C-alpha cells in the first residue's frame, strides 16, 4: 500500500470508529473545509469552515446527527499532494472528497461532493 492508500484506509477507519480524536488527527490546524453538508448542518450559506476547532465542532455535530454513521470505501484516487476518497456516506449517498495534503501528510483543504443514490 502506498502512503495515500494507507491514509485513505486510516481515514475511513477513524470515521467508522466514531473516535473524534482519531478523526481529527488527519487534519492540519489551518484546514479549509468545503461541503454542502456544512450548509445544512451549520446553516452556513458559504459551505466553508476554516480551522481545526471549527471543523471539530462540525464533525461532533455530524456524529450526533448520524449515530449509525458508517462509510464504505470504494476507491482511493491519488494525485500530486492530494487524494480523492470515493465512498458511500450518510443516507447511502455517494461521496467524493478531494483532500489536499500538506508536507506532513495532513489534510489542509477538503472539497466534498455528494450524490443521492436513486
Joined grid coordinates for residue 12? 475511513
Question: pLDDT of 51-69, one tens digit each?
Answer: 999 999 999 999 999 999 9
Q: What is the pLDDT of residues 13-52, one digit of tens each?
A: 999 999 999 999 999 999 999 999 898 888 889 999 999 9
pTM (predicted TM-score): 0.93
Tell me the C-alpha distance between 117 and 95, whole Å.
10
> Residue 40: what pLDDT?
85
- Phi, psi for 36 (deg, rounded to 5): -65, -20
Residue 54: partners with Cβ closer than 8 Å, 6 or more residues away: none
How, if at all, do strands 94-101 and 82-88 pair? Answer: antiparallel
Amino acid at each position: 500500500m502506498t502512503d495515500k492508500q494507507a491514509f485513505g484506509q486510516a481515514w475511513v477507519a477513524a470515521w467508522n470508529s466514531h473516535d473524534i480524536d482519531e478523526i481529527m488527527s488527519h487534519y492540519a490546524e489551518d484546514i479549509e473545509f468545503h461541503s454542502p453538508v456544512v450548509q445544512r448542518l451549520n446553516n452556513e450559506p458559504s459551505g466553508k469552515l476554516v480551522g481545526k476547532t471549527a471543523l471539530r465542532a462540525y464533525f461532533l455535530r455530524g456524529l450526533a446527527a448520524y449515530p449509525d454513521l458508517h462509510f464504505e470505501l470504494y476507491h482511493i484516487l491519488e494525485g500530486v499532494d492530494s487524494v480523492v476518497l470515493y465512498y458511500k456516506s450518510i443516507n447511502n449517498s455517494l461521496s467524493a472528497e478531494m483532500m489536499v495534503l500538506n508536507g506532513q501528510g495532513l489534510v489542509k483543504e477538503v472539497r466534498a461532493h455528494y450524490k443521492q443514490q436513486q
